[in-house]
Amino acid sequence: MNDPVNTIGERAGLSTPVDVERWNHHDTTWMLGLFGTAVGAGTLFLPINAGLGGFWPLLILALLAFPMTFYAHRALSRFVLSGTRVVDITEVVEEHFGIKVGTLVTVLYFFAIFPVLLIYSVALTNTANSFLEHQLHVTPPPRAVLSLILILGLLLVVRCGERVIVKAMSLMVYPFITSLVLLAVYLIPHWNGGILSTAATPATPSALLHTLWLAIPVMVFSFNHSPVISAFAVDQKRRYGAQAEERSSQILLRAHVMMVATVLLFVFSCVLTLSPVQLAQAKAQNLSILSYLANHFSDPLIAFVAPLIAFVAISKSFLGHYIGASEGFKGLLFNRGGRPDAKTRDRLTALFMLLVCWIVATLNPSILGMIETIGGPIIAAILFLMPMYAIHKVPALAKYRGYASNVFVTAVGLVAITGLAYLLAA
């Protein structure tokens, strides 16, 4: 399998910088690609997980969603851009903190992202299998065959290279955004106050803080697209040179405004339609909000559209996470002397990803969810805390010191990590 998802640092040097004043198709493609990685299948569970806490915690989370997302991912992007060469996150860590720390972060980076890729492989197979059986009323092929076809299909996109991956994700974003917005509008006639019933009896300060403590990780990971930030940042550096940070921030800003606005519209439309009791029922049944709505309204349109929306969401998130997982895999195996040429690295990486994703999608082991939960604190540490530590320690990032946003990102990171640790212990 030929998979030329090379880290952009492997390409030769910087290209001639492009005029940063003019927004172009390249910027739009990346903006949509970031959206595509962040807003995936987890979005379909967000109204349930975020709405269960009641109106006031949800309102606070909605106000925090944009700054949590933008400042953290901008800091991670700046960290990758701070390297003296055009290299990915694993090599930037090594440059700033040494080989031992670089190796440790590479290991953690890979094992935090790769399980998510496996979960998407399972979810993709389950969604396609259910759609064939219940909506199209045909007998699906054996699970091993179906999963192989689906994963090979996505890896054919991967084979075309990083730019084609991002382009594919950006194209899939259009129907996904349209579906979410149309569904949110479709639900408006069914609004009955829903979660507003909890607004009249606000929780005690301690209960509110406890709810927020456990809910912030949910919101953080609903907008997380750290697996693709490394590739995004080095592509901007290759294209824009010294102006890469300015343009990266512009792209991130537009992407985050779009993703937060779209997702919050969807979330609030859902929680204004369903009561807290109904949200709790959906949680207990382990259903996505679309599946619950389809059952609740007995609506064949939602029942038919829901798996298609989920399929698109999972596919684009799979592609985004593949970039990060392959980056980490290459950093683990091929970041030392005597490494094979780029084409061989690509093929070995693709073969490994194909085999493991196919086996896991076929077996559907229950341990995957636990592995993803364990990887959560690692992602939070890499996304929130590592860039803040680097800003404090690395001379190349000194110009970003002293901003209130740094304190905010650090605080959110600590809340997310401790909240996840508490959930793990519980």
Query: Is 216 domain-assigned?
Result: yes
- 8 has a pLDDT exceeding 70: no
Q: What is the mean pLDDT of the chain?
A: 87
Burial label, 334 (beta-carbon count in 10 A; 0-12, 13-18, 19+): middle
The amino acid at residue 104 is L
Phi, psi values for residue 142, rounded to 5°: -50, 145
Separation of alpha carbons 187 and 185, rounded Å: 5
Section 298-319 average pLDDT: 84
**Residue that the structure tokens 């709810």 belong to:** 211
**Which has the higher per-residue pLDDT, 243 or 163?**
243
| % of the chain residues with pLDDT over 90 | 43
Angle subtended at Cα 227 by Cα 104 and Cα 105, rounded to the nearest 5 degrees: 5
Q: How many domains does the chain have?
A: 1
Query: Is 288 domain-assigned?
Result: yes
- 391 has a pLDDT exceeding 90: yes
pLDDT at residue 327, rounded to an integer: 86
Packed helices 143-159 and 162-187: angle between N→C axes, nearest 10 degrees: 120
The amino acid at residue 248 is S
What contacts 202, CB < 8 A, 6 or more positions away?
56, 208
Query: Is 40 domain-assigned?
Result: no
| Tokens of residue 306, six digits | 């829901």
Domain that holds residue 205: 61-425
Q: Which of 42-51, 66-75, 199-208, 378-387 has the highest mean pLDDT?
A: 66-75
Separation of alpha carbons 235 and 408, rounded Å: 28
Query: Is 36 domain-assigned?
Result: no
Query: Is 408 domain-assigned?
Result: yes
Query: Is 5 domain-assigned?
Result: no
- 425 has a pLDDT exceeding 70: yes
Q: Which of 19-23, 58-62, 366-370 has the highest mean pLDDT?
A: 58-62
Contact 54, 195 (CB under 8 A): yes
Residues in the chain: 426
pLDDT band per the 50, 70, 90 thresholds, residue 399: very high
| Tokens of residue 199, six digits | 């607004």
What is the H or E stretch that residue 76 is in? helix 55-81
Residue-wise pLDDT for 84-128, tens only, equals 988 889 899 999 999 899 889 888 889 888 988 998 898 899 889
- 4 has a pLDDT exceeding 70: no
pLDDT at residue 12, rounded to an integer: 36
CATH code of the domain containing 89: 1.20.1740.10
Q: What is the pTM of this model?
A: 0.86
Phi, psi values for residue 192, rounded to 5°: -130, 15
Query: Is 27 domain-assigned?
Result: no
Query: Is 51 domain-assigned?
Result: no
Separation of alpha carbons 337 and 20, rounded Å: 37
**Residue that the structure tokens 């990266």 belong to:** 248
| Tokens of residue 369, six digits | 């969810």
Contact 88, 9 (CB under 8 A): yes
Contact 313, 43 (CB under 8 A): yes
Q: Is 140 helix (H, G, I), strand (E, B) or coil?
A: coil
- 11 has a pLDDT exceeding 50: no
What contacts 13, CB < 8 A, 6 or more positions away?
86
- 286 has a pLDDT exceeding 80: no
What is the H or E stretch that residue 239 is in? helix 226-240
pLDDT at residue 337, rounded to an integer: 57
Q: Is 202 helix (H, G, I), strand (E, B) or coil?
A: coil
